[in-house]
Every structure is written in structure tokens, then in C-alpha cells.
Amino acid sequence: MKILLTLDVESGTLAAPLFRGMAQDAKYYRLAGRIFADFSGTIAIPAVLAALLGKWLDGRYGTEPRYMVILLVVAFALSAYAVVRKAKMYKNAYERLMNEPK
């Protein structure tokens, strides 16, 4: 088996030609992964906690589904607010990344 490697003169590293462009795009992939993880947690965790707490309160006070619905609406509103703030923050991070010298 023969593997061809090339020397990247700028960085001084060996790289397979197939993966040469991926090293340059790694910072974008890291940012995308961070955004995905952050937004997923921002949306899912409050919703799950609100549903569990609402279900427990409804069972305790016999008010099914009042507390669960109220807490889910509050969780949705707080998540929406947090997502908008984080989207602005990540927009600025992406713009800084785009303006970096290559």
C-alpha cells in the first residue's frame, strides 16, 4: 500500500492531499459544533426540566395539566430569548472568524 503525503510549506506539516482543505476549515467546523451543542442544550434542557417539574406539581396538587403547560410556556419563552442572544453572540464570533487573516 502506498500513501502519498505532501509537505505544506506554510505550516511545515505533512498532509494527505485529500485532507489538505479540511485543516483550513477546522475552525469553522469547531464553531458549528459549538453552536449546535449550545443551541441544543438551550432548547432541550429547559423544556425537559419544565415538563418533569410540571408533571410532578400536577400530580402533587391534582391540577393536571395546568402546571406542566404553564412551565412549558415559560421554558419556551426563556429558551427563545436565550437563543436570540446566543445567535447574536455567534454571529459576531463568525464575523471575527471570517475577518481573520488566512
Contacts of 5 (CB under 8 A, 6+ apart): 14, 15, 16
Contacts of 75 (CB under 8 A, 6+ apart): 46, 47, 49, 50
| Any domain includes 71 | yes
Residue 83 is part of which domain span? 25-99
| Any domain includes 91 | yes
Give the pLDDT score at 101. Answer: 82
Region 11-38: mean pLDDT is 77
Q: List the grid coordinates of 91.
A: 454571529
Region 40-48: mean pLDDT is 97
Q: How far apart are the first and last CA of the chain?
A: 34
| pLDDT surpassing 90 at residue 94 | yes
| Any domain includes 11 | no
The domain tally of the chain equals: 1
| pLDDT surpassing 80 at residue 18 | no
Q: What element of type H or E holds 14?
A: strand 13-15
